A and B are shown apart, each in its own frame.
Chain A
Amino acid sequence: MLIQQIINGLTLGAIYSLIALGYTLVYGILAMINFAHSEVLMLGAFLALGLAALLPALCGSGAAGLAGMFVLSMAGAGVINVLVERLAYRPLRHVSRLAPLISAIGVSIILQNGVFLWVSTQSLRFPEPIAIGRLEVFGATISALQMVILASALLLMGLLHFFVEHTRLGKAMRACSDDISTAGLMGINSDYIIALTFFVGGALGGAAGVLYGMNYGSIKYNLGFLPGAKAFTAAVLGGIGNIRGAVLGGFILGFLEVLASGYIPNGAQWRDVIAFAVLIVVLLVRPSGLLGEKIAEKV
């Protein structure tokens, strides 16, 4: 049972972490909370649903179709995030700190209601990409789905790490995050880097949306809100702006929820209360989050 709960926590945590990365990347560069991120996540899931109907004709079902659906949904979500930045945030970047924040909330409402009005008001069935195969390990049941979710989340986190730490663009991103105007003086096109950051964050959010749809089997116009709020919490818990912090925060939150509903009598009702109470305590002790530093090495 303990092993089973650890697996449950890992799956949940992996999804939270992926979403949290999107918040943290944007915050790292612009010190702004992208409230529309939860909607990018939702749109990623809807894109995947649309592609799932189209793709089998193009590249067949099975692993190729799945990978195609994944990559295209990620790219689509990334592009949407870039457009949101270009249209709703960039014109307001130098106005005040509050204006882009309100603009983000507005974008979130527009995107959510757009899907509500034009796509569907109901839960839509998300196709099951892989048959629910199961693996029995030490009495725990791991579904093929959970393995796919964990593997793809870890792979994406690894890729992100490599991108940020070991490529020239990643270096430019880190430079912008340290000091955006100095980075500009050194010849880095900061507008480009910001757009790139939104693309990467959006793509990760889109990936999380696809995993979310696969995990729960159905999607709805408002699916982004709850995981978005939780992932934002996870990002703050880990130290917002810090990549490792976002991953750590996501897994901690996933485990907390699982422990609360699995081990505390009647804990399912108290799950969110327990998770957020822990968050408050952590922030009281470490106001900048677990891995956040005063002068944060952002991104």
Chain B
Amino acid sequence: MTSRCAAVLASAVFAAAACGPKEKAVKIAVAVPLTGDMGTEGQGLRRAIEMAVEEANAAKRFPYKLAAAPYDDRADPKEAVNVANLIVSDPRIVAVVGHYTSGSAIPAAKVYARGPVAMISPAATNPEVTAQQNSPDWIGPRMVFRVVPTDDVQGAYAARFAYKSLGARRMALLHDKTPYGQGLAEQFKKTYVGLGGKIISEDGVSVGDKDFKALLTKIKGGAPRPEGIYFGGLYTEAGLILKQMRELGLNDPFAFISGDGAKTSGLFDVAGAAADGAYLSIVGVPVEELPSAAAFMDSYKKRWTGAGEELKPFDHFGYEAAQIIFAAMERAGGPDRAGIIEELRKTNHTGILGTTTFDDKGDTLNKIVTMTRARAKDRTFPSVKQ
């Protein structure tokens, strides 16, 4: 008994291998919010990636066993750094799918660079997530990738939509002061003003604020009154703004436009019927309308049948990120962090998102944005036909 313990201890010290058969697996970290406001979206990503891992194991794609290792960053930048440190120090983790919010992804990427271990974000859209790798104080190789188009694409798209499709010439701008929300709002403003539109007012709100009535009253009474609001932020604040907007009588055709962070069924939990008619841009094409994703959606529905385990908006991005990592692992010939980073740069992957290749920053060149419109009666977001 004692000698066995000693042997285990020795092997742990020398090979950094822990005991138990489960621990022998090669791990892909899933660093997303699993609790808190963004918890539902993060749990969806975890399910999608666990499914990808199970499929790879079932198909015996690798000579070793794979496992998904979920980490909860609570969508909190401080917690994201803690989680990233844990991940970097676990030698069995060869790559990371994460983080969900840009606020978490930006500081966490710096930690992964010290590993270095590759990180593919399935959802963080602020340009800085990958752009920071070009700054002179970046320590480590370039190892940040993402499979979603950035805010400049999304914000600019929403601005063209407001100006051209809705014919709105005056807009009020709101954002939640986070890298994601403010980034979107700034990109919106740049394109909108460039087109000839006028930004009547610009206000920041705080994440966690509940009362926007005074602010919305000001917007309503603005001279001239704007024809809509563009909000850069997440669904909790977006839902509260929508609800209070409607209470103040700001209804259609007064537009509410926001980004992918607000496009989740949680919006209907917060705003209820008031969410109806909100415009929300999303990156890519709605997964329901992607022919290449039909098989993925099918197996997802079969694998996850519990309450609240339906498909979330970014799940297919998470699944695709895992597939891209698997492909890189195959090409690298082994579960080796540096080899995977090297191979990820050469990615040319055709999967459920179409063909993904990365530019020299690590951003996907597959840059499609779609405008959707919330429909409260069946809690869906059908895409807007233009």
Contacts and interface: CB of A to CB of B under 8 A. Distances in A.
Interface of A: 1, 4-5, 8-9, 11-12, 116, 121-125, 128, 132, 134, 136, 141, 143, 145-146, 216-218, 220, 223, 226, 257-263, 266-269, 272
Contacts of B243: 216-217
A217 B213 CA distance: 14
Contacts of B37: 122-123, 220
8 contacts: A8-B214, A11-B213, A12-B211, A12-B213, A121-B39, A122-B37, A259-B214, A266-B202
The 7 closest A-B pairs by CB, nearest first: A1-B221, A262-B214, A258-B214, A8-B213, A261-B214, A269-B204, A125-B269
A136 B268 CA distance: 27
Nearest to B247: A143
Given A125-B272, A218-B270, A262 B218 contact: yes
Nearest to B202: A266
Contacts of A123: 37, 236, 266, 269-270
Contacts of B239: 217-218
Contacts of A267: 203
Interface in B252-273: 266, 268-272
Q: Output the residue of A8, A260, A272 with the most chain B CB within 10 A.
A: A8
B245 to A, nearest CB: 11
Contact of B206 (A116, A223, A269): A269
A122 B221 contact: no
Contacts of A124: 269
Contacts of A141: 247-249
A122 B39 contact: yes
B220 interface: yes
Interface in B192-208: 202-206, 208
Interface in B168-220: 177, 202-206, 208, 210-215, 217-218, 220
Contacts of A262: 214-215, 217-218
Contacts of A9: 214
B246 interface: yes
Interface string B362-378: 00000000000000000
Contact of B214 (A5, A128, A223): A5
A45 to B, nearest CB: 12
Contacts of B208: 226
Interface of B: 35-37, 39-40, 177, 202-206, 208, 210-215, 217-218, 220-221, 236, 239-240, 243, 246-249, 266, 268-272, 274
B2 to A, nearest CB: 39
A143 B243 CA distance: 12
B271 A261 contact: no
A1 B225 CA distance: 12
Contacts of B210: 216, 223, 226
Nearest to A117: B35
Given A4-B221, A146-B247, 18 more contacts: A121-B35, A122-B39, A123-B266, A125-B272, A132-B246, A132-B247, A132-B274, A134-B249, A141-B248, A141-B249, A216-B211, A217-B271, A226-B210, A262-B214, A266-B203, A266-B204, A267-B203, A269-B206
A40 B204 CA distance: 31
B278 to A, nearest CB: 15
B40 A122 contact: yes
B214 A217 contact: no
A268 B215 contact: yes
A218 B243 CA distance: 11
Contacts of A260: 214
A261 B217 CA distance: 10
B266 A122 contact: yes
A80 B274 CA distance: 34
B217 A5 contact: yes
Contacts of A272: 206
Contacts of A132: 246-247, 274
A108 B210 CA distance: 21
B76 to A, nearest CB: 13
B266 A1 contact: no
Contacts of B215: 261-262, 268
B234 to A, nearest CB: 11
A177 to B, nearest CB: 33
A290 B81 CA distance: 45
A142 to B, nearest CB: 9
Given A122-B40, A123-B266, A145 B247 contact: yes
Contacts of A5: 214, 217
A226 B266 CA distance: 22
A261 B269 contact: no
B167 to A, nearest CB: 26
A269 B212 CA distance: 11
A258 B212 CA distance: 9
A267 B202 CA distance: 10
A1 B211 contact: no
A260 B217 CA distance: 12
B39 A128 contact: no
B353 to A, nearest CB: 28
A134 B236 CA distance: 24
Nearest to A131: B273
B217 A269 contact: no
Contacts of A146: 247
Given A122-B40, A141-B247, A217 B217 contact: no
A257 B221 contact: no
A261 B218 contact: yes
Given A1-B220, A121-B35, A217 B272 contact: yes
Contact of B248 (A4, A223, A268): A4
Q: Output the residue of A141, A217, A266, A267 with the most chain B CB within 10 A.
A: A217
Contacts of A259: 214
A125 to B, nearest CB: 4
A272 B218 CA distance: 17
Nearest to B33: A121
Contacts of A223: 210
